[in-house]
Amino acid sequence: MFPSASRVESKGLVNKDLLTIDGVSRDEILFLIQDAIRMKKRKQYGQELKGKTLGMIFEKSSTRTRVSFEAAMIQLGGHAMFLSSRDLQLGRGESIEDTAKVLSKYVDGVMIRTHEHEKIETFANHASIPVINGLTDTHHPTQALADLMTIYEYKKTFSGLKLAYVGDGNNMAHSLMEACVKVGIHISLACPEGYMPDEDITAQVQNQANVNGVHVFVTSDPKEAVQDADIIVTDVWASMGDENEAEERVEIFKPYQVNQELCKNAKSDYLFMHCLPAHRGEEVTADIIDGSHSVVFDEAENRLHIHKAILKGLL
C-alpha cells in the first residue's frame, strides 16, 4: 500500500517551480510518484499537455535529461525545444533576467541544466512560467525523484529503509539526503575528507530528519555507511566540470569503490543504483552494475515517467 498522501490540487503543484527537493512537500513527492507509476503502467500516450511547449536550456550536455524530458513532452501531446547556451543570446552576454522574461512570453515552462545553482534561482525569480532544475552543481532533484520511484517499485515502501550513498558529496548526495528525509528513509553517506556534502545543506537536512524521526549519518568509512543497507547508491568520482581533477580523484576515491567486498556489508536483498553515466572499474565494478542487485536501467527509465508527472504537475 502506498503511503497516504493528501491529493494535490489538480491544477498542479503548490509551487510553480521545481528547483530543489527541499522545496517540495512529502505529499507532493508521493503524488508525483503515484502519477508516474500510473502513467508507466498505462503504456499509452496521452494528450494532457497538448498545445504546451517546454524550453530546455542546456549549459551542461546530457543524454538522459534531454531525451527523457523531450520524450515526456511528446508522450503527453506537447512539444520540447532544445536550447543550447551557444544558440542563445544568453551565451553572448544577455542577462539571465532578460532571458527569463523573454522566454516567459514564448513557452509554457523551462527546464534548465546548468552549473551554478544561483543561475537557476535568478532565472526562476524573473520568469512568470514554471522552471525545472534539470541539474545544477548543487542539486539534482528530478533524478532523486526517479530514484524514489524506483525504490518504491522494488521495496513497496519507504518506511524504515536505509539508503547508503558512497562517493563524492555532490549534487546527488544533496538531493538524495533531502528526498530520503521527506519520505522516511534513513540515509548514510560515506565520502572522503574534503569531499563531504555541503555543511549548510547537511545541517538543514539533519534538522528535518530530527523532526521526521529519520537518521542521517555522514562518515568517511564506506563499510560503516553500507552496513545493513537496503539500497546502495554511487555516482562518478569526477562530475562534469571536475574533469581536470579526474586523475587526482581516482586515487582519493579508490577506497570508495562499490564492489563485491563492500556490498557484503549490505542486506542480502539490497538494490544497487547509479544515476549514470557510469565508469565501470572506477566507482563501481562491472559485476555489481551488471549484476542481479542492479536496477540502474529501471532507474534510468523512470526518469521519463517522473518527468511526465512533474510536467503535468507544473504545466
Which residue of the set 22, 108, 147, 235 is catalytic? Answer: 235
Task: Confirm or deny that 136 is annotated as ligand binding.
Answer: no
Q: 54, 167 in Cβ contact below 8 A? A: no
Task: Confirm or deny that 275 is annotated as ligand binding.
Answer: yes
Which residue of the set 180, 191, 263, 275 is catalytic? Answer: 275
Q: E strands, the chain, where?
A: 53-58, 79-84, 109-113, 131-135, 162-166, 186-190, 216-219, 231-234, 271-274
Strands 109-113 and 53-58: parallel
> Beta-carbon neighbour count of residue 128 at 10 Å?
10
Bridge-partner residues for 217, per DSSP?
188
Task: Confirm or deny that 98 is annotated as ligand binding.
Answer: no
Q: Distance from CA of residue 5 to its chain's centroid?
A: 21
Which residue of the set 139, 174, 303, 307 is catalytic? Answer: 303
Q: E strands, 62-161, where?
A: 79-84, 109-113, 131-135
Bridge-partner residues for 219, per DSSP?
190
Task: Confirm or deny that 63 is annotated as ligand binding.
Answer: yes
Task: Confirm or deny that 268 is annotated as ligand binding.
Answer: no
Angle between the N-to-C axes of helices 141-155 and 171-183, in degrees from 0 to 180, rounded to the nearest 10 = 50
CA dihedral (288, 158, 63, 295) positive or negative? positive
Q: Three-state SS string across 239-286, please?
A: CCCCHHHHHHHHHHHHHHCECHHHHCCCCCCCEEEECCCCCECCCECH
Identify whether 287 is a catalytic site residue: no
Identify whether 38 is a catalytic site residue: no
Task: Confirm or deny that 276 is annotated as ligand binding.
Answer: yes
Task: Confirm or deny that 64 is annotated as ligand binding.
Answer: yes
Identify whether 263 is a catalytic site residue: no
Please tell me what DSSP assigns to residue 219.
E
Which residue of the set 117, 139, 140, 305 is catalytic? Answer: 140
- Nearest CA among 159, 76, 140 for reference residue 299: 140
Q: E strands, 51-154, where?
A: 53-58, 79-84, 109-113, 131-135
Identify whether 113 is a catalytic site residue: yes
Which residue of the set 75, 113, 180, 191 is catalytic? Answer: 113
Task: Confirm or deny that 307 is annotated as ligand binding.
Answer: no
Task: Confirm or deny that 159 is annotated as ligand binding.
Answer: no
Task: Confirm or deny that 65 is annotated as ligand binding.
Answer: yes
Identify whether 303 is a catalytic site residue: yes
Identify whether 35 is a catalytic site residue: no
Task: Confirm or deny that 277 is annotated as ligand binding.
Answer: no
Q: 183, 3 in Cβ contact below 8 A? A: yes
Give residues with Cβ within 8 angstroms of 15, minimum separation 6: 23, 24
Task: Confirm or deny that 240 is annotated as ligand binding.
Answer: yes
Task: Confirm or deny that 140 is annotated as ligand binding.
Answer: yes
Which residue of the set 17, 75, 137, 143 is catalytic? Answer: 143
* Residue list for the binding site: 62-65, 89, 113, 140-143, 171, 235, 239-240, 275-276, 303
Residues acting as catalytic residues: 113, 140, 143, 235, 275, 303
* Residue list for the binding site for carbamoyl phosphate: 62-65, 89, 113, 140-143, 275-276, 303
* Residue list for the binding site for L-ornithine: 171, 235, 239-240
